[in-house]
Structure 1
Amino acid sequence: MRNHPDSLSGSGIERARCAADRDTYRWRSTRPQTSAQDIQDIWQPWGANAAPGTGADGGAGGILIGNGGAGGSGAPGMPGGNGGPAGLFGIGGTGGFGANIAGSGGAGGNAGILGGNGGAGGAAGISQSGIGAPGGAGGNAGVLYGNGGVGGTGGTSRFGGLGGNGGVGGKAGLIGNGGDGGAGGNSGSATGTGGNGGAGGSAWLIGDGGNGGNGGIGVTPGTGGAGGTGGQLLGQDGNNGQ
């Protein structure tokens, strides 16, 4: 994939966004961006391969400062859209809610490259039977600072056997806390199993790891998610979910 024609080169890393193409392209944030491969192909299709009925992805934030837009809710049975990525500084957009009838939650948008909080993952919709849909993953924080986004709650399986799993929490920046994992979905079946809680996001250098999400309620409860790892220099590991 070639670079977007309106990209700008700065410090060896192309950072720009083109407002006119927000619905077509999005910034692909990889951390750290040090290799030649990371510097190449930083734009990728934004929602181009989404199935009909999927919630719209949130728009990107401004080039320097701006928050990503929230993802839209999905049509029945379809996932919510992903939250938009932020500018160099900014908060990632919240993932869209999955529609009822087993729609999965959209992922939270990543924060700005330099700093900001990741967006929260969207909650999954209710499933009438079968397996509940998973919650969306929380977005990752910016490189220098910021907290990871909270994972979305897994979908409840109303008459079926298994609740959906909670989304994982986003990773923190150099300074910041990892996002908490989402709770697992409940099962309303007489023989059902609750969904597993999502794992907490890890801290990087200074900060606490996110707490793992609690398992969903069921005849057999879901397993709690693992707590995220604390910062390498200072911080505590997150608590495991119940």
Structure 2
Amino acid sequence: MKHYILFILLILISSDSERVIGIFKIIDDLNEDTIEIRKNGTYTYKERGDSCWLWNDFTGKWKLEDITLTLFETKRTLDVTSEIERNYFDNSSDSIRINVKSFNGESIGGFKIKYESLINGLPKYEVKTDNKGIVKLPKFKIESLDKEVVVIGMDYVIYSDTISEQFSIDEKVDNIIIRLNQSPDSINQYYEHKFKYKDNKLTSYESPRLSENKIYKKL
């Protein structure tokens, strides 16, 4: 009899876990967050707020106990990964020189630089540094009340993570040195996001980052 009761309990627990598997979407006019719960014990949370600059995805393991769904997240925080040095000149030239090197002073060749104006209609550049880590670009001929009118962007990989950065400069900058820390210290931070599961809906109630009391409906 005891074995029979235990068997029934296992079936009930298993069926609850099966019901929570799927994709849930937040009920909110300002964002379109989704949670995908997978049968293999993993999940993906996609943060999709009203600004694409705040979009973020994170994954991890999940656990369902009674009606409490817990999403476990491990986030790696890196030490300083780059330093930007701008050199200003009163009598500036008509070009800009960008030098990319490591924190140890070694030149980084083949590094992609994105270079564009904040004023629409002007050309955009995507160039790579030479074997000395240097690239030269023409300055934009811009008359603007704003001092900083040019944006420089870059993507690079640290510990298999792609990092995107951008910074702005003004017309008096002739030389830029970009230093990359290719072996920064890293710290793992652990988070738990808790939801109540009922009637094919999830309700957030405890999280270090996600909004609480938000309802997610199963699609």
Q: TM-score range by the shorter chain?
A: under 0.3
- Report 1 or 2 for greater relative contact order, CA contacts < 8 Å, sequence distance ≥ 6: 2
| Pair member with larger Rg | 2
Provide TM-score, normalisation by structure 2: 0.25
Relative to the length of structure 1, the TM-score reads: 0.24
Question: Which of the pair is proportionally richer in strand?
Answer: 2
Structure whose residues are more often helix by fraction: 2
